[in-house]
Amino acid sequence: MADFSVDRTLDARGLSCPMPSVKTALALEQMDMGQVLEILTDDPVSKKDLPVWAQSTGNELLGIKEEASTIKIYLKKA
Amino acid sequence: MNELVKNKGVTIVLFSGEMDKAIASFVIATAAASMGMQVNIFFTFWGLNVIKKEGGLIKGQNWMQKMLNMMNYGHAKKLALSKMNMAGMGPAMMKIMMTQKKVPSLQEFIKMAHALGVKFYPCEMSMSVMGLKQEDFIDECKEVIGAVSYLSIAKDSNINLFI
């Protein structure tokens, strides 16, 4: 994973499908082009769904990290 | 909106008036809206219950409409399950189970979908058969449309669902 700084963190832990994607869309809407959003989730589906969401909306997936039960997903607004 | 999502849309015909089917529709609607797709929901027949305002047991012009609306009373907070309704125990238990998993309630889904730009269209023909007026529906519903208008929206959508 390349170096980048996180501009905003979205805590979506505890939420189930489709809320992490909805919250991600709403959070990115308020951010500027090129900024990085960190999404925290414990929903296993989000690990698959959010990269697909990023691809279909044209936003860049920078990486996925797993720490204990928390999945951290990094998206760059495009 | 970027090139990838341009001209893509989802149109759902919500014919059923049950909580489970309505929630399934709104999960798809909000997920699609989050992907930048234009989402339209055409509420017809029993599906009109999902967007009815609370209250007003007796609606309609003649005794048959009044009887139908009384027996078919419902709104987003009061809908049956399509399976295991158990005289209302099913939906109550389902609501508890969904709250535990932090799944939004149907009312929350409706508000969220509206905020995400999902368009709600009540069906004109069902409304006239049942004797319902636009003021019987929640404010999120803007336009009452007919089958031709629905089809003109549906033909421009690449995902069309009948639920």
What average pLDDT does this structure show over A21-49?
A: 94
Q: What residues form DSSP beta bridges with B38?
A: B9
Are A25 and B33 inside 8 Å of each other by CB? Answer: yes
Residues 87-146 of B with CB under 8 A from A: 101-104, 112, 116
Chain-chain contact of B34 with A56 (C-beta, under 8 angstroms) = no
What residues of B are in contact with residue A53 (Cβ under 8 Å)? 34-35
Nearest CA in chain A to B115: A26
Model confidence at B79: pLDDT above 50: yes
| Average pLDDT of the segment spanning B65-93 | 95
What pLDDT is attached to residue A72?
96
| Mutation to test the A interface, candidates B5, B35, B116, most A Cβ within 10 Å | B35
Residue B84 belongs to domain with CATH number: 3.40.1260.10
The nearest alpha carbon in chain A to B33 belongs to: A22
The verdict on a CB contact (< 8 Å) between B34 and A17 is no
The tokens describing A13, both together, are: 């832990």
Residue B1 pLDDT level (bands cut at 50, 70, 90): very low
Q: Is A30 on the interface with B (CB under 8 A)?
A: no
Touching check for A35 and chain B: CB below 8 Å?
A: no
- Cβ-defined contact of B4 to A14 (cutoff 8 Å): no
Q: Is residue A61 flagged as an active site residue?
A: no
Average per-residue pLDDT for chain B:
93
Dihedral of alpha carbons B81, B84, B89, B90, sign: negative
Mean pLDDT of B135-156: 93
Helical segments of chain B, H only:
19-34, 63-71, 89-100, 106-115, 124-130, 147-154
Helix, strand counts (H, E) of chain A: 2, 4
Do B103 and A78 count as a contact with CB atoms less than 8 A apart? no
State residue B56's pLDDT score. 85
Size of chain B in residues: 163
Domain A8-76 in CATH 3.30.110.40? The answer is yes
Domain carrying residue B149: 3-162
Q: What secondary structure letter does DSSP report for B60?
A: S
Q: For residues B74-96, give the mean pLDDT.
A: 95
Widest distance between CA atoms in chain B: 53
Of B2, B27, B36, the CB nearest to A18: B27
Helices then strands, counting H and E runs in chain B, come out as: 6, 4
